[in-house]
Structure 1
Amino acid sequence: MKVLIVDDEEHVREGIKLLGQWEEHEITDVIEADSGEQAIALIEDQGPEIIFTDMKMPNIDGIALLEWIKENSPSSKTIVVTGYDDYHYMRKAIHFGSTDYILKPVDPSILNDTLVRAVTQWKKEEEYRKVHNSSYRLINEMKPIYRDRKLTQLMNNYLLNQSIYEEFGFHLTREYEVGIVRVDESIIRSFGGDRDLAYFSILNVINEMLMAEENGVAFRYLSNKWEIIIIFWNDFERITSLLTALHTAIRRTLDVSCRIARGCKVSSIDQLMNSYEDAKNSLLLSNVLDRNKVKVYGKQDVLASALLINMMDYNSKIEEALQVGKFEAFLPVFNEIITAFEAQNYLSLKQILHFEQEYQLLSQHWLKRYHIPYTINNGPEYVLSFFYNQDGQFQLAKYVERKKREVKRFLKVVKRYSKQNNRDVIYEIEQYLQQNFHRDVKLQEISERFYLSREYISRKFKQEFQENISDYMVKVRMNKAKSLLLNEELKIYEIANMIGYHDDKYFRKVFKKVEGITPNEYRSLTV
C-alpha cells in the first residue's frame, strides 16, 4: 500500500513521515507532494490508497483536492491534517468522505489510530470490490429495476396485470404480511458509498432465502431510499424466525447489521400499505440502544408510549446560553436534554431522527441569526449514520460528545461574529423604535423581530443609550410633539393622537413632567 502526504510545509510532511507506523500497517511507500497540483499528478500516476492532506494551500487547496479525489479516485481514503480548528473545514472533510480530521501539531497516537481506521476501511472496501465485481455489472440489467418499479407500484396501490404477479412468483392468496429491512447510510458506507451495490447485495441474500422457502418476494422500495420491502404470502407463524434467519444471513455474508420490522397481517392485496405502516411504526419505535445482535422488531418488541423529546422546547434556554457565549452556560441545557434521553433507558429511532432534525434547524437558525456563512448540507440520516457500531447499536455517548464539540466550535465562531453584530443590532432596534414612535411597541415584539431575548435587549439598550427603552420612547415622542406644536393649526388632542397618546390629558401630564411646562405654554413661547 502507498501513502501520500500533501502539505506545502516540508517540516510538516517530515513530521508525519517520522510519526507514522507505516510498516506495521503494510505501507510500503510514503510519497510527498508540496501542492494540490503535484498531489493530483502523483495520485494519477501512483494511485496511493491513503492520502493525508492539509487544507490551507495556495492555488488548489485542501477542499478542492478532496473534491477532486472524490470524483477521480473514490477508493482512496483521505485524512485531513490542518492547523485550523474550523467547523467549515470539518464539514467539508465529512462531506467529501474523509476518514478523519486531525489538528496540528499532530499527536502520534491520534495519527496512528486514524491510520489504522483508514487502512482497515480501505481493505474492507477493496474486498467488497473484488467479491462483488461480477455482481456489480448486473445492477444495470433491466430485471431488478423492472421488479423494483412494478412492486413499488403494487405497494402504492397501482393495479397491475395478473401476468406481472406470476412473473415474480407472486402468490395471489387472501392474506399478506409486509416486512421492512432498513438500509441506512452506515450500511451504504460499508459498500464504499455505493447505494446500488448495497441494495443489490442485500436483496440477493434475502431473495435467495425467500425462493428456498417459497414464501415471498423482496424488492427495493423506490418510494423510500432507505428501505427494502418483503411481501410474505404464507407460513405467517414462521415469519419472525425467518426474519431472524435473514438478519443473521445478511450479517454473516455481508458483515452489516440491518434493522428489520414486521407488520400486521392483512386480508387483501390492496391493504398492503396498512401492513407496511404497521411495520414502519415498529421500526421507528425500535430502541437504537438495544444491545441484541439480532435487530428484528414487531409491535410487541417496541415501547409505543416512549416520550418524544422536542429540542424546540429548550429554545429559550438555548438562546440565553448562546447570548452569554460560554459553553459552561450551555452545558446545563445540554445535560438536561441528554438526561431526559437516558432517564427512559430507551431511545427510539424516531426520537433520535427527530432530535437531529431539530438540532439542524436550530443550528441553521442561529447561523442565519449571526450572519455566519456556513450551511448544513447533510440530513439527519447521514449525520446519525456515523454513530452506529458494527452491531447496529447507536453510540449515544459518542454522539453527545460530538454535539458538545460542535457547540463549542459554534460558540467560538459566534463570538467572532457577534461582537460587532450585537452592537449594530442595538442601533437597528433604536431605528425601529424611532420609526414606530406613534404606537406602543412591546419588548416581546422587538425580541421576536430581532431574535434576541427581552432581558438581553433591555440590558444592552441601557448600556448603549444610558436609559431604558420606555424612557427613550417618551423622549422620542416628546421631541416629536415639540416639532408638531410649532404648527398652530394642530389641536393638542390631535398632536397627542399623532404621537401615540389616545388620552390628551395624559399626554399633557407627561409633557409637563419631561419639559417642565405644558404643551400650551411651550407653544406660546416658541410660536
Structure 2
Amino acid sequence: MKVLIVDDEKHVREAIRYFVPWEKYQISEIFEATNGQEATLIMQEQQPAIVFTDMRMPLMDGAELLEWLHHHFPNTKTIVISGYQDFNYVKPAIVYGGTDYLLKPLNSKQLIAAAEHAFKLWLEEEEERQQNHRQNMQLNVLRPLYWDKMLSDLVSGHASFQELKPSLCKELGLPADAASCRVAVISLQRANCRLLERFHGDVTLTSFVLANVCNEVISPGRSGFAFRSWQAGTDIVILFWTAALDAEVWVRLINESMKQTYGVQVDIGLSRPVAFPEGLQNAFRQARQGLSERNLLQREGRIYHYRELTEESGSVEDHVLESLLDKLRVAVLSGDLQRMERVVDEWADQLSGLSLLTENNFLHQQEEICAVLMRWRQNEEITFELCYDEEGLFSVENWRNQFKTMLQRLWKGNSQTPDSRLVQEIREYLNQNYAKDMTLQHIAERFFISRENVSRKFKQISGENLSDYLTALRIDKAKTLLQNTNLRLSQISELVGYEDEKYFSRVFKKSTGQTPREYRKQEDSL
C-alpha cells in the first residue's frame, strides 16, 4: 500500500506521519500534497491506496478532491481530517465513501484507529479483487476451450444453434440476422506440415497458435471465428458469417499472415456459401472434402474449394495400382533390395506423370503398400508420411527417398531390443503428454512395469534420467512459446505442465541460466 497525505498545514502532515504505525502494515511510500490539484497529479502517478485529506485547501478543496477520487480511483480509501464539523464538510465524506471523519486538533488514538480501519478495509477488498482476478483468469483460460467444444459440436450437428445464438452474438460478434455462411478447415495431423516443424511436432500447441493467428486476422472485421476442432482429422475450423466473397479473401489473408509471421503457409479447405444456420453441417463436410480431395501435385495456391466428386482422369487407376502392388509383392518375396528399389522408382515415375493426385487417393495407395510390407515384416513399425519440400508442397522425390529408406531398414532387419522399444514408447508418450501431471508411478502403471525398472531401463538405454528428459522437454516447449507467442508466464507454465508459475520459473532458470522473462526479452531483441 501507498499513502497520500493532503493538507496545506505542514504540522498536520507531520503529525499524521508521526502517529500512524506504518511499519505494522509494511507501508514505506508516503506522499504529501498541499492541495487537491497536487494530490490528483500524485494519484495519477503513484496510485496510493489510502488518502488522508483536509477539507479547506487552496486551488482544489477536499470536497472536490473526494469527488474526483470517487470517479477516478473508486477503490482508494479516504480519511477526512478537518477543523470544522459543519455538515457541508461532512456530507462529501459520506457521499463519496470516506471511511472516517476526524476533527482537528488530532487525537492520536482516533487517528491510529481510523488509519488501521482504512488499511484493513483496503486489504480485505484487495484480497477480494485478487480472488475475482484469479477467477477471471481461470475463466479466460477455459473460455476458448468452451468455444472449441461448443462450436465443434455445432458444425458436427451435436449442439443446438438456437441455444448458442445469444452467446455467439454477444461474445463472438455473430450478426443476429446472419443468413449465409462458409466454413474453412485446416488439418495439421495428416501432413508433415512445416508449421508443425516450427513447433517441434506438437499438434496441440500448433493448433493453439494457428487459431490465434486466424482470429487476429478476421476479428477486427467481425467476419467470423476460428476454433480448434474436436473432430478427428481436422485441427482448425473457421466459421465465416459474412458475404460469400469475403471468406475467400480472409483465408488468403490468413495464409499471407502465416507466411509473414512464421515463413510458412498452410493448406485450407473451403466450402461453398450455404444457408445459415441450417446448412452449417453441410458446409463443414464440404470444407473437409475440399481439403481431403485436394490435388497434391498442385503447385500454385493453397486454398482448396469443395467440388463434387466425379470420375476424373489423372488418378492412379485400380488396374495400375494393382500392377504396382503385384510387382512390390514379388520383389519383397525375392528378398532382392535392388529389385524393390526399382519398383519404388517405377511407382514414383508413375506419380510424377499424373495431372491429379488427391490426398485421399494417395493415402489409399500408402495403406496398400503398408499391407504388403507388414506381411513381410510383421513385427516392424511401418508408417508413411506425406513428404513435403521446402515450400511446404508435396514432393514425389522426397516420398521416393522415404520409401527406399524404409525398405533398406526392413531388409536389414530391426536391431531394436525390447528394452529399446520400451524406452522409445515412453519417450513418445512423454512427448505427447508432457503438459499433464506426470509421475514415475503413473508412467510405470501406463507401461505395466515397476517404477524401479522404468528408471533403470530409461537410464540404461538413453543415457539420461527420465525426470531430466521430461524437464528438458518441458523447457524446450516453454522456449517455443516464449519465442512465438505473447502468452503470460502463468499460461505458459500451465501449458508445459507446471501448475506453480514460481516453480516453473525456478526450473527454467536452473535449466537455461535465465528467467523466462529474461529469455523472452533476449529473443525479442534478436
TM-score normalised to structure 2 length: 0.46
TM score, norm. by length of structure 1: 0.46
